[in-house]
Amino acid sequence: EAGVTQFPSHSVIEKGQTVTLRCDPISGHDNLYWYRRVMGKEIKFLLHFVKESKQDESGMPNNRFLAERTGGTYSTLKVQPAELEDSGVYFCASSPHNYEQYFGPGTRLTVT
């Protein structure tokens, strides 16, 4: 069974630009989560989808971040405009039953 996949693996952009991260969950997993790790800090929750609906977006830092999951399959996380403090590793995770979560390899975002 294929695991959670994320694209791109790395992204380097300039401050003020836009970046879109993509996550493909494990097939059949209704629950999809985004997390972020900034340097020197622990992994922090961003938001949670159940199918195409946002269940919890309490961790989204501000309105420069927009997450979508059209059709309840893959999800995108857009950062517009990117700021220096957005640099970090963005992880996606999926779960079939809202309990154990399986993580993708992450997207390492660097904003210069």
Partner 1 sequence: RKEVEQDPGPFNVPEGATVAFNCTYSNSASQSFFWYRQDCRKEPKLLMSVYSSGNEDGRFTAQLNRASQYISLLIRDSKLSDSATYLCVVGGGRRALTFGSGTRLQVQP
Task: Give me the residues that bind partner 1 (CB under 8 A), please.
Answer: 31, 33, 35, 41-45, 48, 55-56, 58-59, 91, 93, 98-106
Name the minimum Å distance from CB 105 to partner 1.
5
For partner 1, give the closer residue by CB, 73 or 98: 98
SS3 51: coil
Quote the CA–CA distance of 26 and 18 in Å, as a whole number: 27
For partner 1, give the closer residue by CB, 19 or 95: 95
Name the minimum Å distance from CB 106 to partner 1.
5
For partner 1, give the closer residue by CB, 81 or 89: 89
Question: In sequence order, which residues have a C-beta less than 8 Å from that of residue 4 and are 6 or more positions away?
Answer: 23, 24, 25, 26, 92, 93, 94, 102, 103, 104, 105
Name the minimum Å distance from CB 5 to partner 1.
11
The pair of three-digit structure tokens given for residue 37, joined into one six-digit string: 């790790």
CA separation, residue 21 to residues 56, 73, 78, 97, 98 (Å):
19, 14, 6, 24, 22
Name the minimum Å distance from CB 43 to partner 1.
4
For partner 1, give the closer residue by CB, 17 or 110: 110
